[in-house]
Amino acid sequence: MVITPIKENIPTDYSLENWLQSPPEGTEWVNGELLEKEEVTLKHSRIQAKVATYWRNYKETSGQGGEVYTEVPCLTNKQGRRPDVAYLTPELMQQYGEPAVLPQSFPLIAEIISPTDLAEDMIAKSQEYLQSGCEEVWLVFPENRWIIVITKNQRLVFISGEVVKTQTVLTGFNVTVDELLGS
């Protein structure tokens, strides 16, 4: 998903501290600038909803607990981010509750990649998440029908016809790439 500088009625002196207290809907704080996430496509939204629903259902049926969110703000070591889908463990829910902005990255994050996203930017974003508390990032490429799962120790690519699995968080979750990405 491409992000662009805000051009609306947000003050130019808007700071990271302002964003942390009350992040405007659909924005991220990146490299000292308030950026607005571009509108998503129907496909992006459908896949985002599917990932969130599948993770939510699995955390309930497996008894692992926690919570699944979409477009929820968190703080990395450098930026204020808003992952497409994020899972918060019961332990972190107990530690932090539900603040306006989670003060670290979520343990499990999925980013749905749009055709306008640059691969280098998304890989850098996944590394940023991993350096600030995230344990596992899913980069979901709907057009190529790939899901890249990244942890601190490994990078795995799952393609059409394969089963994608969580590696370190929400253990035991698996689904076929085709089922998750649909038609």
Residue range 83-130, pLDDT digits in tens: 999 999 999 999 999 899 999 999 999 999 988 888 899 999 999 999
Domain count for the chain: 1
Domain that holds residue 125: 40-181
Band of residue 46 on the pLDDT scale cut at 50, 70, 90: very high
Residue 2, pLDDT > 50, answer: no
Predicted TM-score (pTM) of this structure: 0.89
Q: What is the CATH number of the domain that holds 108?
A: 3.90.1570.10
Burial class (CB in 10 A: 0-12, 13-18, 19+), 149: buried
26 found inside a domain: no
Question: Does the pLDDT value for residue 5 go beyond 70?
Answer: no
- The answer, yes or no, to whether residue 4 has pLDDT greater than 60, is no
- Residue 12 in domain: no
At residue 49, the pLDDT reads: 97
